[in-house]
């Protein structure tokens, strides 16, 4: 195998592994959250069967459990804004890194401009997080 073939194969293998890994993490997280919600419901039912007043029991957390992170019920816009902001920072950093890498490889060529595309996407994500951010009423 030549060096060019290995580089070409690596170019496609890394994104495929990243996408499959992200999908696998999402599936595992969803299954874990469903299991936790099921256990919370079973525990609540068992307490009610033992005679505990349902009004005295703590409220059941939602499936994703965002109460612990300060989002609470009805604060989906804040959660969405945080996600967009994190994604924006990561994408801007990836664009800067890509530009630096391409410039270091061939300083006399203009290939480093390719890194501007992820930077612009990250800037758009940061702007959209600002738009989605909940306003004080």
Confirm if 98 and 118 have CB atoms less than 8 A apart. Answer: yes
Q: Give the model's pLDDT for residue 89.
A: 94
Structural domain of 10: 1-64
Asked whether the predicted pLDDT for residue 43 surpasses 50, the reply is yes
Q: Which is more confidently placed, 76 or 43?
A: 43
CA distance 7 to 40: 49
Q: CA dist 121 to 67, 83, 94, Å?
A: 30, 14, 11
Same domain, 43 and 96: no
Average pLDDT, the chain: 82
Mean pLDDT of 102-112: 87
Same domain, 43 and 98: no
Asked whether the predicted pLDDT for residue 68 surpasses 60, the reply is no
Mean pLDDT of 71-95: 82
Same domain, 56 and 75: no
């Amino acid at each position: 195998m030549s060096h060019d073939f290995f580089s070409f194969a690596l170019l496609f293998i890394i994104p495929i592994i990243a996408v499959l890994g992200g999908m696998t993490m999402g599936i595992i997280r969803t299954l874990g959250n469903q299991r936790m919600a099921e256990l919370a419901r079973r525990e609540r039912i068992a307490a009610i069967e033992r005679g505990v007043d349902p009004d005295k029991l703590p409220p059941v957390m939602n499936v994703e459990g965002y109460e612990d992170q300060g989002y609470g019920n009805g604060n989906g816009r804040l959660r969405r804004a945080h996600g967009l902001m994190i994604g924006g920072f990561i994408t801007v950093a990836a664009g800067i890194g890509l530009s630096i890498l391409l410039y270091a490889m061939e300083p006399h060529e203009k290939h480093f401009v390719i890194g501007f595309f992820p930077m612009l996407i990250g800037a758009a994500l940061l702007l959209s997080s600002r738009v989605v951010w909940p306003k004080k009423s």
